[in-house]
């Protein structure tokens, strides 16, 4: 962009204001102001009613010792790990398969795998609740018909099982996202690279490990960061599937903040949790970013 | 001669081996895709069964097509109210998002002015703010200003949340349109608003449709804001309505499935019609965010 070009049409101030103001105003009103007031509320003991006293950082001290909060954090980590390992793994495998010339119906597979991405989290939560239902669920029915009764579980009612059960719908719904990110990276790799390697005798597995993986490494980082930040904030799926139960065994951070604020009406403490969630998830992404940079420089 | 007779069966075998490999690959891939889609297919065909038929055999296909569940869900379950609200919110949000994001995107890409970078950074930062940290303060803000439980309550947050990505999409697209077009119009005496809406905007068709589709899908599916800012039943949107519906029809599996299909259907139709654009747009949006 050349500066003389930019100056060639000088807009009148009023025109510029008319273009910018409405959008910026709505945006600031909805996202920027609440971000600051949230922090303000988190320093008060505001519960239901008009009483609102400044209590400094007491809510944050309480948060540090809140076992449910840390349980929720651990659950988020399990969900993040599950998605990183299983979802990214499958997406990478599929990317390699998609590159094979022998594969037919790529358009069909792509359309089918990406479809759940566009569904609402609530719908996906309900679909999987029906899949997991003990007596009338699809999963148990399929297992029964395959004579694998020993695998039947109380998918959503067993405190030990539940966190894994709620991770699967997330892996399922968003598999299309890393897949598409990888695929668009792979399309950037020129065919010649592969052809040369084939001549040199590289097999499918070798091609995957030594060419595809390094070449899509940077877009893999993007996919991983996206996955971490969205899974740290997962909310609707869990609310619909289990409500955080049984007990608090499938509680996650965003849901804990929500239920503290709106079910138990502790608005001050709920705000502190929201800020805590923000810091933890942002921190995790930053840590990962640092690790990825170190990994690349070696 | 001798050489080729040794080679022929060998290459034939290798060819056979690779085509068996290809067959296995395709079978495995097909099995995977069908497994992926099956929960949705199961919900769809089960919604056409009667409750008794479903209880008798969970997996079987419906004996006859039975749309009673849809009637119950749509009329008795009041899905039509939620449906209408979702359409209202989505359409209004999409129109406002396109209007405002084109205005801001155009200004950002065409003009140099003081505060330009501040506005740019503001919107960029907004893409990283998690919605959940805004729920409590926004609820209080709306409560104090008496903005909850209104027809247009959800429009404000919906527009604001969709703005950043839409602005960046427009901004980067307008940048690719030659500036000479604006200058020629200016010399001919056209007003800025005329130039941007009648000359530049029509050229932005591809990015406008991406913004439109993404904003529609996001708004149709939105849950947390609708859950917190609306308490009146008559103003609820589909996702919140569904949770309500679930409380009401807990044991009526087939009716629930019909309700799920009803709320999935518009999104699935849009998806199948515009899948290329949606996949591209969402991937681009994800990478940008």
pLDDT tens for chain B, 289 residues: list them: 444 444 556 667 777 777 888 888 899 999 999 999 999 999 999 999 988 888 888 888 988 888 999 998 888 888 999 999 999 999 999 999 999 999 999 999 998 888 888 998 888 877 777 788 888 889 989 988 999 899 999 999 999 999 998 999 999 899 999 988 988 888 888 888 899 999 999 999 989 999 999 899 999 999 999 999 999 999 999 999 999 888 888 778 899 999 999 999 999 999 999 988 888 888 776 665 4
Pairwise CA distance, residues A264 & A99, whole Å: 52
Closest CA to B45 of B78, B67, B74: B67
At A185, the pLDDT band (50, 70, 90 cuts) reads: confident
Cβ distance A33 to B141 less than 8 Å, yes or no, reads: yes
Q: Are A193 and A250 in contact (CB under 8 A)?
A: no
Cβ distance A35 to B43 less than 8 Å, yes or no, reads: no
Pairwise CA distance, residues B288 & B83, whole Å: 32
Cβ distance B275 to A8 less than 8 Å, yes or no, reads: no
- Judging contacts by C-beta atoms under 8 Å, the chain A residues touching residue B138 are 30, 34
Residue A282 has pLDDT above 90, yes or no: no
Among candidates B103, B136, B272 on the partner chain, residue whose Cβ is nearest the Cβ of A38? B136
Distance from CA of A81 to the nearest CA of B (A): 20
* Tens-place pLDDT, residues A133-166: 988 889 998 998 888 888 888 899 899 999 999 9
Average the pLDDT over A273-295 and give the result. Answer: 85
Distance from CA of A181 to the nearest CA of B (A): 6
- Judging contacts by C-beta atoms under 8 Å, the chain B residues touching residue A141 are 58-59
- Judging contacts by C-beta atoms under 8 Å, the chain A residues touching residue B242 are 122-123, 126
- Judging contacts by C-beta atoms under 8 Å, the chain B residues touching residue A8 are 179, 183
Cβ distance B134 to A128 less than 8 Å, yes or no, reads: no
Residue A103 has pLDDT above 90, yes or no: no
Closest CA to B242 of B86, B68, B52: B86
pLDDT of residue A213: 80
CA B108 to chain CA centroid, Å, is 26
Q: What domains appear along chain A, each with residue ranges and CATH number?
A: 68-297 (1.10.3720.10)
Which residues contact residue B282 at a Cβ distance below 8 angstroms, ignoring those fewer than 6 apart?
A: A117, A118, A177, A180, B214
Answering whether pTM is above 0.90, one says no
Average the pLDDT over A12-28 and give the result. Answer: 91
In this structure, how many other beta carbons lie within 10 angstroms of the beta carbon of residue A229? Answer: 18
Distance from CA of A298 to the nearest CA of B (A): 25
Q: Are A68 and A251 in contact (CB under 8 A)?
A: yes
Distance from CA of A159 to the nearest CA of B (A): 22
* Tens-place pLDDT, residues A256-280: 999 998 888 888 898 899 889 888 8
Task: Supply the ipTM of this predicted assembly.
Answer: 0.88
3-state secondary structure chain B: CHHHHHHHHHHHHHHHHHHHHHHHHHHHHHHHHHHHHHHHHHHHHHCCCCHHHHHHCCCCCCCCCCCHHHHHHHHHCCHHHHHHHHHHHHHHHHHHHHHHHHHHHHHHHHCCCCCHHHHHHHHHHHCCCCHHHCHHHHHHHHHHCCCCCCCCCCHHHHHHHHHHHHHHHHHHHHHCCCCHHHHHHHHCCCCHHHHHHHHHHHHHHHHHHHHHHHHHHHHHHCCHHHHHHCCCHHHCCHHHHHHHHHHHCCCCHHHHHHHHHHHHHHHHHHHHHCHHHHHHHHHHHHHHC
Among chain B residues, the shortest Cα distance to A38 is held by: B137
Distance from CA of B235 to the nearest CA of A (A): 18
Which residues face A54 on adjacent strands?
A44
């Amino acid at each position: 962009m050349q500066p003389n070009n930019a100056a060639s049409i000088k807009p009148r101030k009023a025109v510029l204001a008319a273009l910018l103001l409405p959008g910026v105003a709505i945006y600031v009103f909805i996202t920027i102001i609440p971000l600051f007031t949230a922090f303000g509320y988190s320093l008060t003991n505001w519960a239901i009613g008009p009483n609102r006293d400044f209590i400094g950082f007491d809510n944050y001290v309480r948060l540090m010792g809140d076992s449910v909060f840390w349980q929720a954090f651990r659950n988020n980590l399990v969900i993040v790990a599950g998605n990183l390992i299983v979802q990214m793994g499958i997406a990478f495998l599929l990317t390699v398969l998609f590159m094979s010339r022998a594969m037919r119906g790529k358009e069909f597979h792509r359309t089918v795998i990406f479809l759940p991405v566009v569904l609402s989290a609530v719908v996906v939560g309900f679909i999987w609740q029906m899949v997991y239902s003990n007596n009338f669920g699809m999963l148990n029915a399929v297992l029964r018909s395959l004579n694998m009764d020993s695998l039947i579980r109380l998918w959503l009612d067993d405190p030990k099982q539940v966190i894994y059960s709620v991770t699967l719908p997330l892996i399922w719904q968003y598999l299309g996202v890393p897949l598409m990110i990888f695929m668009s990276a792979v399309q950037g790799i020129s065919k010649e690279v592969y052809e040369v390697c084939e001549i040199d005798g590289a097999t499918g597995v070798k091609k995957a490990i030594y060419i595809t993986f390094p070449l899509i490494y940077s877009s893999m980082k993007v996919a991983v960061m996206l996955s971490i930040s969205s899974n740290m904030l997962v909310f609707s799926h869990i609310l619909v599937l289990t409500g955080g139960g049984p007990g608090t065994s499938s509680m996650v951070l965003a849901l804990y903040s929500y239920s503290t604020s709106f079910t138990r009406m502790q608005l001050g403490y709920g705000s502190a949790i929201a800020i805590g969630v923000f810091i933890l998830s942002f921190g995790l992404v930053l840590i990962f970013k640092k690790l990825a940079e170190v990994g690349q420089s070696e | 001669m001798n050489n080729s007779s040794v080679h022929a069966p060998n290459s034939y075998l290798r060819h056979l081996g690779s085509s068996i490999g290809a067959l296995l690959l395709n079978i495995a891939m097909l099995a995977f895709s069908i497994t992926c889609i099956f929960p949705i297919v199961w919900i769809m065909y089960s919604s056409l069964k009667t409750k008794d038929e479903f209880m008798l055999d969970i997996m079987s296909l419906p004996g006859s097509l039975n749309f009673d569940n849809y009637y119950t869900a749509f009329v008795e379950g009041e899905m039509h109210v939620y449906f209408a609200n979702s359409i209202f919110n989505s359409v209004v949000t999409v129109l406002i998002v396109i209007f405002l994001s084109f205005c801001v995107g155009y200004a950002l890409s065409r003009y140099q002015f003081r505060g330009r970078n501040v506005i740019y950074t503001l919107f960029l930062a907004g893409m990283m703010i998690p919605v959940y940290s805004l729920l409590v303060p926004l609820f209080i803000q709306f409560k104090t200003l008496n903005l909850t439980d209104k027809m247009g309550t959800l429009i404000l947050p919906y527009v604001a949340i969709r703005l950043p990505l839409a602005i960046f999409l427009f901004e980067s697209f307008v940048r690719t349109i030659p500036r000479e077009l604006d200058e020629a119009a200016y010399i001919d005496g056209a007003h800025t608003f005329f130039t941007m809406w009648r000359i530049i905007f029509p050229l932005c068709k591809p990015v406008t449709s991406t913004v439109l589709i993404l904003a529609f899908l996001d708004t149709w599916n939105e849950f947390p804001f609708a859950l917190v800012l609306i308490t009146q039943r008559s103003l609820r949107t589909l996702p919140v309505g569904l949770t309500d519906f679930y409380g009401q029809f807990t044991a009526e599996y087939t009716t629930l499935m019909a309700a799920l299909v009803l709320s999935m259907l518009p999104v699935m139709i849009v998806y199948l019609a515009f899948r290329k654009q949606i996949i591209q747009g969402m991937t681009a949006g994800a990478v940008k965010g």
